[in-house]
Each structure stands twice: as structure tokens, then as C-alpha cells.
A and B are shown apart, each in its own frame.
Chain A
Amino acid sequence: MREIASSILILAVTMNFLALGSSNLKACIRAAALQGFFVSVFPLFFSPEPTARLVGLVIVAGVVKAFVIPGMLIRALREVHIQHEMEPYLGLVPSVLLLAVGTGAAALFAGRLPLMSSHRDLLVVPVALATLFAGFLLLTTRRKAISQVTGYLILENGIFVFAQLLHEAMPTLVEVGVLLDLLVGIFVMGIVMNHIQREFGSLDTDRLSELRD
């Protein structure tokens, strides 16, 4: 079981590189969706004895992270007819390189944090931090609102992975925290995206640059 859990985490980290490295927005959202699927099923293999409650969390998280939100984003994409992330603030190659460096740094930093014996042989902390970093990179280096929301989705995936360490001890906290944040955050962002599109006729946040000093 543990080996499967580790492989799933490694698959989740690969999705970071796919999301950051693809110029096609749809591919980026798909990578995030696939990652959402991986991190959602991860608890099944991580937990020693899956309870009904855990299965419930897996199903809800999986549906939201892998289907509902990516589906919303792809629909938004279709409506505004954009296919590519043209000219991100940071080129695709540099951002992938930066992610590689960040993933390494995450592994180093995670090594400095003491873990409980039952968590030691797993990659949870480095994967969580690396995914967080990937989400942050997408959020800050892309122009399109949809890319930024995808970045937020990936950032939340990272937090979700880390939260599994706590799921046995504090199940309610983890479930409520992660899902509420994700749902509400993306919901409101969806509304604002809608307004951006109506106001500017595009989802390019570069148009949102009137306010500066």
C-alpha cells in the first residue's frame, strides 16, 4: 500500500511540471485536474484502514478537484475562445527550471522537519511543498485569469496532500478547511472572472493594470 501511495505522490508532482510546461491552457487545466484526482485518491492508500468517512472525503474531493472545477474552467475557456497562454510573464522553459529548483529546495527543507514514525517513509511533506510552490509560480507568472485560478487549484492540492498527515487525528478540521476554502474561493473567482470578461471582453489580466504607482 505504501509503495502505491508513494507512486501516486510522484505522479502528482509530475503534474506540476506538465501544468507549468504546457503552452496550451486546456492541457494546463487537464494536468491540474489529473493531479486533483491523484491527490484525492492518495488518502485511500495512505491511511492504514480506510473508514467510511475517509472514503466520503475521497469521493467529494475527487469530484470537486478533478471534475467540477476543471470542468468550470474548461467551459469558461470555450466561451472566451482562448487556447494558448500567450507570452507568460516568465517563459515556459525558465518556469519549469525554476520549478525543478523549487522542488529540490522543498525536499531539502522538508528533510529538516521532524516527522512521526508512521509518516517517515513517505514523501508527503516534500510533495506538498513542491506542489504549493508550483501553484504559486502559476499564479504569479501568468497573464490569463484562468491560468491564475488553475494555479490556485494546484496550490490547494499541495495543502490537501499535507492535510492527510492530520486526517486521522483531526478529521473534521481537515475536511472542512480544505474543501470550504477551495469551493468558496473558486466560486467567487468564477464570478469575478465572469465580470472581467464582460467588462474587458477578454480574460487577460494584463488589461487589469490601470492601478499602479
Chain B
Amino acid sequence: MQSAIETTLDIQQIRRDFPILDQQVNGRPLVYFDNAATNQKPTAVINALTGYYEGYNANIHRGIHYLAEKATAAFEASRRAVQEFLNAKHWQEIIFTHGTTDSINLVAQSYGRRFLKEGDEIIISTMEHHSNIVPWQMLCEEKGCILKVIPVNDAGELILEEYEKLLSERTKFVSCVHVSNSLGTVNPVKTIIDKAHAVGAVVLIDGAQASSHLDLDVQALDADFYALSAHKLYGPTGMGVLYGKKELLDSMPPYRGGGEMIKEVTFAKTTYNEIPYKFEAGTPNIADVIAVKTALEYMAGLGKENIAAHENDLLQYATEQLSELDGLRIIGQAKHKIGVISFVLDGIHHQDTGVILDQQGIAVRTGHHCTQPLMQRFGIAGTTRASFAVYNTKDEVDRLVQGLRRVQKMML
């Protein structure tokens, strides 16, 4: 165990693990600050993908030959690695999906359709990603459930008193983001979960942004469901995880049919396999699942607390430096936030900002970040967002600040 957060990572050494970073964009060294959208992959992860295809590509679970055995073992080893990463109690609680969006849809379509009924209330928050809004709206439309929304204050924090007012015995489900992708706000999910449980509601946490920055412990949180995406964890794209408590998953019907999810099929009746296979219809992304383990090992090798400390350093530094620019307003000033800094520039369209930064080799995200209701809450069309990963440096933050000065000089 490492106790102090003091440990300093050798960032230049780490950068060598990410071949993509070593390139020029528009004649300048690339600064990649779009990590909240997806972060870059270390060579180890890329090698895990090619290693599977070059060495033991085979379909899993059904094969009796050597390659199939090896692939199956690697696939299931990845499940155990995720179990450990989330501190889930049982390996059967880890379901591989296509990502956070897919995980949330699974819960809405399987749990929601089976257990929610007309008049039941579902609570989400104003800072949800569209992925955690639309599946619930679809369910509400189908089942006649009612969607309620936790408001946020001007700093970009959930207003917990308002959340308490929304809770009642009619509340059957709460689905809330752990860390906002647009604001960086870290939500008090433990409190949110406890209060929901007190009225008997089931809770899903959208951990897409939290997973690479925070220590996760689904048992300590007592989360019923936890969703995440591998591509925000230095892992492959289109690959994610749904954690669900065993007793909940056992009670849920599968929502996609075919492949490994069955026990026995006759034309009269099909019986379903056990969890997690019940929810993993068809041939999965075997290579990608296997590479998730490598990604988790990579992070563990650096030490998640070290990564978090470094990103926090960058956030503090960027916040100070950006605050010195005239006409720059940071959107999202929560007391507890991580690696994301969203801002607007007076008199300058965020899209123009993004284009001119790109011409200087700086990759940021601009727009509503799939959180349109949140943008409406702040009365803006979008922001420019810089988001950090372990390989970013203070020099790069300086480049961003210079880049923004250039934007202002050109536009104003």
C-alpha cells in the first residue's frame, strides 16, 4: 500500500507508452486534451489486441481445442480483473457490454421492462449524458413511468435537498452520473444511493468518467448497477461493463436472444443460461475484452492514486492559468471535481475556438458534450472542454493557454 499521494510519476517515460502522442498536427506537436471523449491506448493494450489475433484467435466457451481454451481462459481472466477493479463480490456480477450506453440500455430494457410499471418514478439528474437520459425516456414512454430530474446549482453541483424532495415511495429507480463529463463534478453517489435505498429504489451509477480517475468499490458504495466504458480506461472502444448485484441480475430477463445466453433451446421453450452469460448474447468482442485486463493492469502499474494526483495537479494548474484570461468563464466550479475543465470565451463561438486550437495542434472537444439539458441549465449552446489523462503535462496546459490567447487575438 502506498500511503502518500506524493509519488511523482515520470510523465515523459509514460508518454513513451503511448505511440499516438508522438506526432505533429498542423505542424506542431500534438496536445491531446480530449480524454473525456476517449483516452489513448498504451502499447501494452494494442499488443494485447494483436496478440490475440496473431496467437490464439478462437471463439470462446464452446471450443474444445487448444486455441479456444486459451481464448476462453483469457476472456474469463478479464472478467475476474474487472471484478477486482470494481471490488464486486462475485465474478458473475460482471457483464461485458459495448459500453456505458449499452449497459444502461440493458438495465432499462431488462430490469425496467420487467419491474417498472405505470406511475412509477425514475430520478435522473440535470447533468446526465444523453446515454443516461434517452433509455429512461424510452422506458417511460413505453411503460408510463414518470421521469424526475435533480437540479444543479450555479457551481455545477447537484442540489441534494431537491433530490430528497423528489424521493418518495413512488421512486422506483435512480440513475445518476458519478462524474460529469461536461463539468468534472464528482457527485456524492454514496449519499445518493443511500437515500434512494431508504425509499426502496434501485440505483444505477454511470461511471463512464469516474472509472479512470477514482477508486471504485461497488460494495462500499452499495450500488445496484454500475456502468462503464473500457475506452475511457486506456482500453479498447465499443467495449464496456455492467456491474449488477447478483440477486438483481438473477431476477432479470435477458433482453437479447441467441448464442451463449441459452441453456437449452427447443421450439417449444428456451431456458436461459446463468448470469453473466444470460446477458451476453452472440460472440462477444473477445480481443477487446481480453485487452481490458491489460488496460487495468497498466493503470494499476502506475497506481490509480498517482494518476489521480497527477490529473488533479493539472486541473489546479489549468484552472489557475485559464482564470487569468480575460473573458474566460469556467462552467462547473464544483468543490469536488476531477480532470475536466469546461469554459466559454466572451464573444467567441466554441466551434471557432476548437478549429483554431486544432490548427495549433491542440485537440479539445467543443459543443454540448451530449449533455444538452445541462447546457440549457447554464443558458449556453456549448463549451470548450479540455480533459486530462495521465500522459498530459503542464507544458501542454501552457500551450492551451497560449492557443487561447491566439484565438482571442484573432477573433476579437
Do these two chains interact?
no
Which residues of B line the A interface, CB within 8 A?
none
